[in-house]
Structure 1
Amino acid sequence: MLLENKNAIVYGAGGSVGSAVAHTFAAEGARVFLVGRTTAALEAVAEKIQASGGVADVATVDVMDEDAVEAHADAVVRNAGSLDVSFNAISLPQTGIQGTRFVDLSPDAFDLPIATYPKANFLTARAAGRRMTVQGSGVILTITASPSRTAVALMGGMAPAWAAVEALSRGLAAELGPNGVRVVCLNAAGMPETPQLTEVYSLHADAYGISRDAFQARMTERTLRKQLPTVAEIADVAAFVASDRAAAMTAAIANLSAGMIAD
């Protein structure tokens, strides 16, 4: 198994991407620590992981609260012995953020993702980096989306926020690399089976005056394989990148856009 005897924190584990990654990490042998703001959602994920023979712990933590993040990371190391993987999959509801032109967007709506995503990733990565540096090993994963590197209308502050997370990931990799810590960002195109993408595609479809299915078809056509990535595909790559088999990979933006971005 790719992650046997590894301890992994998954932030935003109650969401579609976070829960899928947590399931895959557990299936690959990791003990997963599920973190989020809604206990019921986390417990539902934990129950499924445990029913499949995996090991999962649940903690309700606000990732914008640096003291809470630090205390939880301490608890993981104290209880499990190490912190080997950290993955941040937090997200915001996108209504009022996407689907509006910059010239019509309020400053608060523009600022919300920029104030949230980079800071949340900074706090969780900092907590992981401090403890991984001491143990001399570890992997920090972040996730963004293709508009960080392409020209896409109606994204509001999301594309700048994702670009900031990618820059943060590279800087962390440079600083933590000499201590045996890798940092990789997963850049994905939209995963249409997730509730958040249903919301996002509906916002963009409404702005263009077309159906959600028509907008999804438009996005699908932009990929080279004419198929958007699935959550399971993202989770599989996350597990590989977090494993020792990807030991040479750091400061990288892993392209999971199905060819929407050509590197």
Structure 2
Amino acid sequence: MLLENKNAIVYGASGAIGSAVAQAFAGEGARVFLAGRSSAGLEKTAEKIQAAGGVTDVATVDVLDAEAVQAHASAVAQSAGSLDISFNAVSLPQTGIQGIPFVSLPLENFDLPMATYPKANFLTARAAAHHMTDQGSGVILTITASPSRTAVPFMGGMAPAWAAIEALSRGLAAELGPHGVRVVCLNAAGMPETPQLAEVYGLHADAHGIPRDAFHARMADRTLRKQLPTVAEIANVAAFVASDRAAAMTGAIANLSGGMIAD
């Protein structure tokens, strides 16, 4: 197992991506601590992990509350004996954020992702880093999407927020690398089976004046393999990157766009 004897916190574990990554971590032997705003959603993820024989704990944590994030990370490290992996998959509803031209976008709508995503990732990474640097090992994972590195209309503050997370990940990697801590950002194209992507593609389809299926097909055609990545594909890479087999990988933006971005 790739993550045997590892302890991982997954923030936003009630969402499609967070849940899938948490299950992948558990499937590779990690004890997974599920954190998020919805206890009901977290319990559903926990039930899936436990049904598959995994070990998990649940905690309601506001990732924008610095003290709550730090207290939870400290409790995990103390109770489990180490904090080895931190993955942040928090998200916001996108209606009112995407699908609107910049010239028509209210300031507060532009500012919301800018003020939420980078801050949430900073707070969770900082909390994990305190413990990982002390123990001399650990992996911090973030996630963004392809518009951080491409020219896409109607993204509002999302693309700038993702770009900020990528810059944050590189800076963290530079500071934490000498202490044995790796930081990797996963950059993915849209995953069609997630509820959030259905919302987002609907917003963009309306903005372009085409059906949602047509916009979906347009996005899939932009990939080199002519299909968008799945949640399972992203989760499998996350588990590998979090493992010791990826020990040489840090400060990287892992390209999981299916070739939508060609490096």
Report the TM-score, using the length of structure 2 for normalisation. Answer: 1.00
Q: Offset at 1:7?
A: 0.1
Counterpart-to-counterpart distance in 1, 2:43 and 2:104: 40
Shift of 1:78: 1.0
State the one-letter code of the partner of 2:90: I
**1:150 match:** 150
Aligned equivalent of 1:219: 219
CA shift for structure 1 position 48 = 1.0
Q: Deviations over 1:161-188 (max 9, x none)?
A: 0000000000000000000000000000
Where in structure 2 are the equivalents of 1:1-263 lying within 5 Å? 1-263=1-263
1:20 and 1:143 mapped to 2: Cα distance? 13
| RMSD between superposed Cα atoms in Å | 0.3
Q: Which runs of 5+ in 2 are unaligned?
A: none
Unaligned runs of 5+ in 1: none
Q: Distance in 2 between matches of 1:48 and 1:26?
A: 10
1:182-236 Cα distance to aligned partner (Å, 9 max, x none): 0000000000100000000000001111111000000000000001000000000
Secondary structure in structure 2 of the residue aligned to 1:258: coil
Counterpart of 1:153, as a letter, is P
CA–CA distance in structure 2, aligned partners of residues 14 and 260 of structure 1? 27
| Superimposed CA distance per residue, residues 42-62 of structure 1 (whole angstroms, 9 cap, x where no aligned partner) | 011101100110001000000
Give, in whole Å, the separation in 2 of the partners of 1:5 and 1:204: 43
Q: Could you tell me which amino acid in structure 2 is paired with residue 190 of structure 1? A: G
SS of alignment partner, residue 2 of structure 1: coil
Opposite residue 17 of structure 1, the aligned amino acid is: I
Q: SS at 2:262's partner residue?
A: coil
Could you list the structure 1 runs, at least 4 aligned residues long, displaced by more than 6 angstroms after superposition.
none
Counterpart Cα distance in 2 of 1:44 and 1:100: 34
* Structure-1 separation of matches of 2:48 and 2:228: 26
Aligned residues: 263
For residues 157 and 144 of structure 2, the distance between their equivalents in structure 1, rounded to whole angstroms, comes to 13
Identity of aligned residues (%): 81
1:56 and 1:186 map into 2 onto residues whose CA distance is 23
Deviation, structure 1 residue 84: 0.1
| 3-state SS of 1:186 partner | strand
Counterpart of 2:179, as a letter, is: N
Counterpart code for 1:253: I
- TM-score, normalisation: structure 1: 1.00
d(CA) in 2 for partners of 1:25, 1:37: 20
